[in-house]
A and B are shown apart, each in its own frame.
Chain A
């Protein structure tokens, strides 16, 4: 089973939920930190990292002596990352690659009739594999600093998904490509929000995303008690289950800031998260009955 913990708004408590859910399920779980721009699950799970795998992607380069400036690479590039300047009176011919736009799809290399484009390996980040608290597997992706797209590293982390485990994926905030990649293929998505206008606005965006991907979702309201009831009203209106309320408590924030997970300070949350997990299993079955 794959459960992705996502949110529209940042700082709502994805890692608070995902780490404590993993700790509650223990040896049945596996934790995958797909927030590769700033993975922080390790702060709470304190894993022993056993190995690290470097992620490389191809980077196109041109052998300008072979180039005929036909421009097919430029037309083939879906991301507008190539400019071909034909030789003119004053200038020599040039092929410019804009690597921050390149997605390493390989189309330019494929279409070049002169075989003038070749690929070099470029480091994009790494995946670290270890064990959390000696109980369950811990995998985290780390995007190389200054790299623009986290998606290849998220994909690399997802290769460690195991069918016989409850795979808990901690996604990055928002609704952009890396989040879509972290949600894609999940059996269920937990959306963590807070009962504020910001929380509601971004929750609606996140629900639109999970709806489009076709992954059933449930909501966890963190910092319950602040703000208003509009998140609840919205969930009811959309028919999205609210799985849990976590009250706004100073002790939670204080312990979290010291790297202590929620279940580490309030042990009753172990059984609460187990119940949430049972509810999620029920919701997945319900979704399958409707859609399959």
Chain B
């Protein structure tokens, strides 16, 4: 299964980036082969609609579950329509998230409810 974790760096030692639209990297992890690919988020400094575009990319990459801190409403709408599940509120190291998911201690849910308002990843107010 292909899963994706939003990360603040490009390795499994990196931490979970709490933002989905504006995270630094996406770690695409294949749980069958235990291999991963780190994709820099080219949308991180985009003007707007970055959550929408990242979510669309997730569908294109065949990701089935996304692990992140928070999710905005627009990204949630795309993920819902693409039937991609999410785990939100995640913190800590990427490798721990992967291990916990494999052990079954992290339950993914449909992306029905956004956890933050639009533009929450744009800085300014603390989440």
> A: which residues have CB within 8 A of B?
74, 79-86, 88, 90-91, 94, 96, 98, 101
Contact = CB atoms under 8 A, between A and B. Distances in A.
Interface string B38-50: 0000010011111
B90 interface: no
A80 B49 contact: yes
A98 B74 contact: yes
Contacts of B59: 85-86, 88
Interface of B: 43, 46-50, 52-53, 55-56, 59-60, 74, 77-78, 81-83
A91 B58 CA distance: 14
10 contacts: A74-B53, A74-B56, A80-B49, A80-B50, A83-B52, A83-B55, A88-B82, A94-B81, A94-B82, A101-B48
A74 B78 CA distance: 13
A81 B49 contact: yes
B43 to A, nearest CB: 8
Contacts of B56: 74, 83-85
Contacts of B49: 79-81, 98, 101
A82 B55 CA distance: 11
B46 A80 contact: yes
A226 B56 CA distance: 53
A86 B78 contact: no
B78 A80 contact: no
A80 B53 contact: yes
A91 B50 contact: no
Contacts of B53: 74, 80, 83
Contacts of A90: 83
B66 to A, nearest CB: 15
Contacts of A101: 48-49, 52, 74
A147 B86 CA distance: 31
A85 B46 CA distance: 21
B20 to A, nearest CB: 14
Contacts of B52: 80-83, 96, 98, 101
A96 B78 contact: yes
A263 B50 CA distance: 49
Pairs A-B, 6 closest by C-beta atoms = A80-B49, A83-B56, A83-B78, A85-B82, A91-B83, A101-B49
A91 B48 contact: no
Contact of B77 (A74, A80, A81, A96): A96
B6 to A, nearest CB: 18
Contacts of B60: 86
A79 B74 CA distance: 13
A94 B50 CA distance: 18
Contacts of A91: 81-83
A85 B50 CA distance: 16
Given A74-B56, A83-B52, 12 more contacts: A80-B46, A80-B49, A80-B52, A81-B49, A85-B56, A85-B82, A88-B59, A88-B82, A94-B81, A98-B49, A101-B48, A101-B52
B28 to A, nearest CB: 17
Nearest to B77: A96
Contact of B78 (A79, A85, A88): A85
A90 B62 CA distance: 12
Contacts of B50: 80
A71 to B, nearest CB: 8
Nearest to A92: B81
A263 B48 CA distance: 44
B19 to A, nearest CB: 16
A180 to B, nearest CB: 15
Contacts of A82: 52
Nearest to A74: B56
Contacts of B81: 83, 85, 91, 94, 96
A83 B55 CA distance: 8
